[in-house]
């Protein structure tokens, strides 16, 4: 049964929610009972249940990282969240079978059209579970697997277990531990050797419920010589109370494989977005993270690549926009662990008004390696006197044969630039948008068309809102 | 009515008065030139009329076709038809010329409507050719890394695309070599029309050989102290500004 009462639309596309009913609800707060409930409804094997219960212990034992990160983390009340909400664990294969309110949510966000237009597969997650999951038949014939993590664990345990938690161990940080105990949803992808998936696979993460935590777990494996592009979009409506999103994403690129992972998030201003993302690149493999962070109250996210095999390549391209009252704490990690590995980090942040951007970069090249290179560029753009940006690069490079290049800049949109743009007839918001879009232009060019259009639209909305 | 009318306009910056009861009438169909020593307020006039917030209007009026522009925002004044070719054009990193001009044109369209892209590029390329601007410039960032002369040409390109009712050209000739000067002058002459008033601010009589003005005004200490036809520019070139100053202090009105 579902009701469609309180539908509330704001000027933003994603700001609406349906007053829906859930068949599965783990209740409020986090304890062993909740963890067992999740394992029960998913019908999980004992090893998964044990993994979860151990993670709960790790989570409880780890302090919040307020020694280096913001004190705002202390405002997260873990006892107040709901950790699992779903209408069932089996996603539909056709949009017709998706429950009406969920279907309408995704229709309003434009997901079915996108699938028809340019995607090879789509997964749409509503709160804790995938409501819809489908991939083109040709890909299935080639042996490509693209399912939700719940289904992946059940149907493909042999592949799942081999890589699960290997790139990001439970104890990596407090939030990876949290995810490890209550994870649900997210994607599981396996691309067989030599298969190059031409069109992107996309997942869409939608938070609908208030006081809710979304903890998807994504695992992508590109076997030798395989190639895949995965894109994720995320939205949530504006609630009065805080919402928590804490994902773990692990990528594994075996010899000669290529994975490109693109995120465009547009969280509303009440969301704590604390995400751990890391990839493992074997010999001659390439992992590229393209990460656009718009919205949220606090985002902490530092996509990384462990360059494990010779000639592996890692890249992080990130754009962060911190609007009024928001804090984007983002960056990148490059761990060089083999000779001739190369990494590239390009980060651009925009801070508006009281908005705050922080860049944290970590590049590690140990002494015994040879022929490794890193290039890091981070540029910040400030709009309004109050906005703030901090850069914390941590580069440890040892050994004579390795090189790093680091460039950082901070610039402002000047009153004279705005005057010039407005003298040509643009209003203040349009002038700001144009200047900001110009600042990120060289990065946006690397995105698939559909996403660069979406990103431009989000920037326009954010900038027009910022000038009142 | 069909004119840019400035009446007794006084403008100050940081409490310092720059324009002092300045008056000027620029009817549509005419080209006027303003000359005057450095620091007398020529650029101040241009920016104050364009609505720059640093320039405090203390008294006086300014109207365009009868409409008061002093209360309007910068972008509103622009859309009402005033174009300012900047003395020092501003760099906008990452924003291409093509996107910039297109955004400016779209800002003049009714809400939700955009100009036709094909027709737009056709005209853009035609105007660029007339101004001797290489096609490659469409994908370059506005004014970024442009030479002085390239910046000035690009201002005229914007003017040609936006087709404003009133144009103020602030030292568009400065920094141009002789060939570029001819091309730019040709571009401006091409825009002379019964529907348009053009105000050319310059230090050099030379420009006025190519853009022949209907009137020439001498600005001194924030007001026009002498007006005449194009021969006044020649006189200034020959004798400098001192003779005007001398006549002023001697109490001789122009
Ligand atoms: N933003 C500003 N802040 C402070 N003083 C200013 C500002 N703009 C102009 N002025 C001052 O106002 C006076 C007039 O300047 P303006 O730029 O209008 O002169 P101009 O006639 O255009 O000179 P030029 O021929 O050198 O271009 C100068 O003394 C200048 O220093
Ligand atoms: Mg000047």
pLDDT in tens, B9-65: 999 999 999 999 999 999 999 999 999 999 999 999 999 999 999 999 999 999 999
Contact B78 A435 (CB under 8 A): no
Query: Considering only CB atoms, which chain A residues are within 8 Å of B93?
Result: 438-439
| Mean pLDDT, range A269-297, rounded to an integer | 95
Strand partners, A362: A333, A394
Contact A438 B74 (CB under 8 A): no
Residues 6+ apart with CB under 8 A from A385: none
* B187 has pLDDT over 50: yes
Q: Which of B98, B55, B99 is nearest to B77 (CA)?
A: B55
Shortest CA gap B144–chain A (Å): 12
Please give the pLDDT value at position A385. 66
State mean pLDDT over B191-212: 94
pLDDT at A468: 56
In whole angstroms, give the CA distance from residue A104 to residue B240: 76
Q: Is-contact A299 A327, C-beta < 8 A?
A: yes
Rounded to two decimals, the ipTM of the complex is 0.96
Maximum CA extent, chain B: 62
Alpha-carbon distances, residue A78 vs A129, A240, A267, B38 (angstroms): 20, 16, 19, 67
Nearest-10 Cα torsion for A391, A61, A250, A37 = -140
Ligand 1 neighbourhood includes B47 CB (under 6 angstroms): no
Q: How many CA atoms lie within 13 A of B162 on its CB side?
A: 32
Which of these, A419, A458, A134, lies nearest to A293 by C-alpha position?
A: A458
Q: Of A424, A437, A439, which is closest to B104 when you measure between CB atoms?
A: A424
Interface test with A, best of B49, B53, B74 (most A CBs within 10 A): B74
Q: What is the pLDDT of residue B251?
A: 63
Rounded distance between C-alpha atoms, residue A89 and residue A152, angstroms: 12
State the nearest Cα–Cα gap between B228 and chain A, in angstroms: 30
| Atom from ligand 1 closest to the CA of residue B219 | 21
- Is pLDDT at A11 greater than 50 in this prediction? no
Instruction: Take atom 27 of ligand 1 and give the residue whose Cα is closest.
Output: B38
CA angle at residue A240 from A234 to A242, to 5 degrees? 55
Q: CA-CA distance, A272 to A302, in Å (whole number)?
A: 15
Closest residue by CA, ligand 1 atom 28: B39
pLDDT-above-90 percentage for chain A: 59
Instruction: Determine contact: A446 vs chain B, CB below 8 A.
Output: no
Interface of B with A (CB under 8 A): 50, 52-54, 73-75, 78-79, 83-84, 86, 89-95, 99-101, 103-104, 107-108, 141, 158, 162
Which is the closest atom of ligand 1 to the Cα of B45? 18
From B18, B53, B88, B89, give the residue whose CB has the most ligand 1 atoms within 8 Å, as the site to mutate.
B18
Residue pair A120/A134 in contact (Cβ under 8 Å)? The answer is: no
Do the beta carbons of residue B52 and residue B253 sit within 8 Å?
no
Confidence of residue A21 (pLDDT cuts 50, 70, 90): confident
| Calpha distance A343→A363 (Å, rounded) | 9
pLDDT of A2 strictly over 50: no
DSSP strand pairing (B82-85 vs B166-170): parallel
pLDDT in tens, A170-225: 999 999 999 999 999 999 999 999 999 998 898 888 888 888 899 999 999 999 99
Q: What is the C-alpha separation between A76 and A73, in angstroms, rounded? A: 6
Reference B202, options B190, B193, B210; nearest CA is B210
| Cβ neighbours of A441 in B, within 8 Å | 94-95
Provide CB contacts within 8 A for B61, sequence distance 6+. Answer: B5, B6, B7, B8, B9, B68, B70
Does the beta carbon of B202 lie inside 6 Å of ligand 1?
no
| Beta strands A24-25 and A145-148, pairing class | unpaired
pLDDT of residue A23: 86
Tell me if B94 and A416 make a contact (CB, 8 A cut-off): no
Taking alpha carbons only, the member of A280, A223, A226, A275 closest to residue A250 is A280
Res A10: pLDDT: 39
At residue B175, the pLDDT reads 84
Q: From the CA of B171, how far away is ligand 1's center (Å)? A: 13
Q: Is A435 in CB contact (< 8 Å) with chain B?
A: yes
Partner residue opposite B90 with nearest CB, options A416, A426, A439:
A416
Residue with CA nearest ligand 1 atom 29: B39
Q: Which helix (H) or strand (E) holds A440?
A: helix A428-444
Q: Which H/E stretch holds residue A49?
A: helix A46-61
Q: Do A425 and B90 touch (CB under 8 A)?
A: no
What predicted TM-score, i.e. pTM, was given to this entire model?
0.85
Q: Return the pLDDT at A9.
A: 34
- Alpha carbon distance A425, B76 (integer Å): 7
The C-alpha atoms of residue A357 and residue A268 are separated, in whole angstroms, by 17
- In this structure, the number of other CB atoms found within 10 A of the CB of residue B229 comes to 12
Domain boundaries, chain B: 3-93+164-249
Q: Percentages helix, strand, coil for chain A, rounded to the nearest 5? A: 30, 35, 35
**Helix (H) or strand (E) segment spanning residue A345:** strand A342-352
Instruction: Report the pLDDT averaged over residues A113-142.
Output: 83
Q: Name which of A415, A425, A439 is nearest B75 (Cβ-Cβ).
A: A425
Burial (Cβ within 10 Å: 0-12, 13-18, ≥19) of residue B22:
buried
Which residue's CA is the closest to the ligand 1 atom numbered 11? B39
Q: How confident is the model at residue B1 (pLDDT cuts 50, 70, 90)?
A: low
Whether CATH 3.40.50.300 fits B3-93+164-249? yes
B39 lines ligand 1 (CB under 6 A): yes
- What is the best residue among B17, B19, B35, B41 to mutate for testing ligand 1's pocket, by most ligand atoms within 8 Å of CB? B41
> Ligand 2 centre from B137 Cα, in Å?
26
Instruction: Please tell me the distance from the alpha carbon of residue A20 to that of residue A33, in angstroms, as a whole number.
Output: 24
In contact, A310 and A340? CB cutoff 8 Å:
yes
pLDDT of B252 higher than 80: no
| Packed helices A32-42 and A46-61: angle between N→C axes, nearest 10 degrees | 150
Beta carbons of A424 and B141 less than 8 Å apart: no
How far apart are the C-alpha atoms of A15 and A11, rounded to whole Å? 8
Residue B6 dihedral angles phi and psi, to the nearest 5°: -115, 125
- Residue partners of A284: CB distance under 8 A and separation at least 6: A255, A256, A309, A310, A311, A312
Nearest-CA residue for atom 13 of ligand 1: B39
Query: How many CB pairs below 8 Å do chains A and B form together?
Result: 76
- For residue B216 and ligand 1, the question of a CB distance below 6 A is answered with no
Residues 6+ apart with CB under 8 A from A210: A17, A239, A240, A241, A243
What are the C-alpha distances in Å from B54 to residues A36, A353, B50, B208, B254?
A: 65, 21, 11, 31, 32
Q: Which range has the worst mean pLDDT, A195-199, A213-217, A445-449, B162-166?
A: A445-449
CB atoms within 10 A of CB A365: 26
Cross-strand pairs, A281 = A253, A307
Cα(B45) to ligand 1 centroid in Å equals 10
Question: Cβ(A255)–Cβ(A309) under 8 Å?
Answer: yes
How crowded is the C-beta side of A236, counted as CA atoms within 13 Å? 28
Percent of chain B with pLDDT over 70: 98
Average confidence (pLDDT) over A136-163: 92
Half-sphere exposure (Cβ direction) of B4: Cα atoms closer than 13 Å: 29
The dihedral sign for the CA sequence B235, B241, B246, B252: positive
The contacts of residue B92 (CB under 8 Å, 6+ apart) are A417, A420, A421, A434, A435, A438, B100, B141, B142, B143, B144
Nearest to A351 by CA among A318, A377, A376, A384: A384
Any ligand 1 atom below 6 A from CB of B56: no
User: Nearest C-alpha of chain A: how many angstroms from B227?
Assistant: 29
Closest C-alpha to A438, from A418, A467, A419: A418
From CA B169, how far away is CA B173, in angstroms rounded? 9
| pLDDT above 50: residue A40 | yes
Q: What is the pLDDT of residue A3?
A: 26
E strand intervals along A268-341: 271-281, 286-295, 298-301, 304-307, 313-322, 327-336
A420–B93 CB contact, under 8 Å:
no
Q: Would you call B92 and A435 a contact, using CB atoms and an 8 Å cutoff?
A: yes
Domain spans in chain A, listed from the N-terminal domain onward: 24-420, 421-468
């Amino acid at each position: 049964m579902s009701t469609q009462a309180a539908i509330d639309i704001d000027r933003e596309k994603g700001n609406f929610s349906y007053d829906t009913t859930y068949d599965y609800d783990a209740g409020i707060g986090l304890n062993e009972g909740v963890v067992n409930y999740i394992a029960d409804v998913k019908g999980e094997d004992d090893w998964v249940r044990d993994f979860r219960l151990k993670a709960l212990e790790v989570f409880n034992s780890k302090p919040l990282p307020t020694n280096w990160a913001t004190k705002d983390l202390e405002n997260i009340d873990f006892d107040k969240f709901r950790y699992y909400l779903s209408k069932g664990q089996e996603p539909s294969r056709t949009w017709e079978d998706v429950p009406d309110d969920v279907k309408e949510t995704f229709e309003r966000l434009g997901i079915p059209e996108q699938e028809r237009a340019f995607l090879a597969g789509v997964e749409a997650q509503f709160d804790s579970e995938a409501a819809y999951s489908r991939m083109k038949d040709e890909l299935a014939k080639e042996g490509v697997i693209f399912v939700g993590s719940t289904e992946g664990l059940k149907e493909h345990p042999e592949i799942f277990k081999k890589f699960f938690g290997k790139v990001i161990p439970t104890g990596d940080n407090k939030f990876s531990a949290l995810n490890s105990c209550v994870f649900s949803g997210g994607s599981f992808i396996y691309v067989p050797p030599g298969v190059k998936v031409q069109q992107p696979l996309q997942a869409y993460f939608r938070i609908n419920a208030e006081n809710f935590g979304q903890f998807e777990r994504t695992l992508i494996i590109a076997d030798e010589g395989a190639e895949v592009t995965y894109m994720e979009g995320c939205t949530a409506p504006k609630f009065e109370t805080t919402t928590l999103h804490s994902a773990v994403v692990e990528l594994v690129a075996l010899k000669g494989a290529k994975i490109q992972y693109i995120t465009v998030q547009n969280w509303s201003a009440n969301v704590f977005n604390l995400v751990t993302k890391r990839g493992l690149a074997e010999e001659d493999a390439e992992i590229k993270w393209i990460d656009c962070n718009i919205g949220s109250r606090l985002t902490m996210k530092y996509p990384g690549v462990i360059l494990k095999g010779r000639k592996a390549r890692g890249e992080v391209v990130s754009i962060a926009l911190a609007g009024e009252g928001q804090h984007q704490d983002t960056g990148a990690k490059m761990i060089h662990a083999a000779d001739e590995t190369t990494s590239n980090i390009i980060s651009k942040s925009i801070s508006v008004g009281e908005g705050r951007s922080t860049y944290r970069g970590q590049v590690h090249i140990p002494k015994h390696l040879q022929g490794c290179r890193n290039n890091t560029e981070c540029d910040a753009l400030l709009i309004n006197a109050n906005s703030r940006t901090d850069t914390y690069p941590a580069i440890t490079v040892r050994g004579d044969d390795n090189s790093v290049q680091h460039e950082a800049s901070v610039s402002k949109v000047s009153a004279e630039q705005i005057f010039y743009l407005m003298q040509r007839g643009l209003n203040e918001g349009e002038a700001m948008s144009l200047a900001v879009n110009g600042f990120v232009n060289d990065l946006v060019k690397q995105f698939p068309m559909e996403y660069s259009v979406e990103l431009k639209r989000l920037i326009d909305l954010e900038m027009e809102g910022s000038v009142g | 009515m069909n004119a840019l009318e400035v009446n007794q306009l006084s403008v100050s910056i940081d409490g310092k008065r720059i324009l002092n009861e300045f008056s000027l009438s620029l009817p549509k169909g005419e080209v006027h030139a303003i000359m005057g020593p450095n620091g007398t307020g020529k650029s101040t006039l241009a920016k104050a009329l364009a609505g720059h917030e640093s320039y405090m209007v203390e008294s006086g009026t300014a109207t365009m076709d009868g409409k008061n522009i002093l209360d309007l925002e910068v972008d509103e004044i622009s859309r009402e038809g005033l174009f300012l070719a900047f003395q020092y054009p501003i760099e906008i990193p990452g924003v291409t010329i093509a996107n910039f001009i297109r955004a400016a044109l779209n800002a003049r369209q009714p809400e939700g409507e955009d100009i036709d892209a094909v027709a737009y590029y056709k005209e853009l390329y035609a105007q660029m050719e007339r101004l001797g601007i290489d096609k490659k410039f469409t994908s370059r960032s506005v004014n970024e890394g442009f030479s002085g002369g390239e910046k000035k040409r690009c201002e005229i390109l914007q003017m040609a695309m936006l087709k404003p009712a009133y144009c103020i050209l602030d030292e568009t000739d400065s920094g141009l070599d002789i060939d570029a000067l001819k091309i730019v002058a040709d571009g401006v002459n091409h825009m002379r029309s019964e529907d348009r008033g053009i105000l050319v601010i310059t230090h050099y009589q030379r420009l006025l050989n190519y853009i022949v003005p209907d009137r020439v005004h001498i600005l001194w200490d924030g007001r026009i102290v002498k007006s005449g036809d194009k021969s006044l520019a020649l006189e200034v070139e020959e004798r400098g500004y001192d003779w005007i100053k001398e006549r002023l202090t001697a109490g001789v009105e122009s």
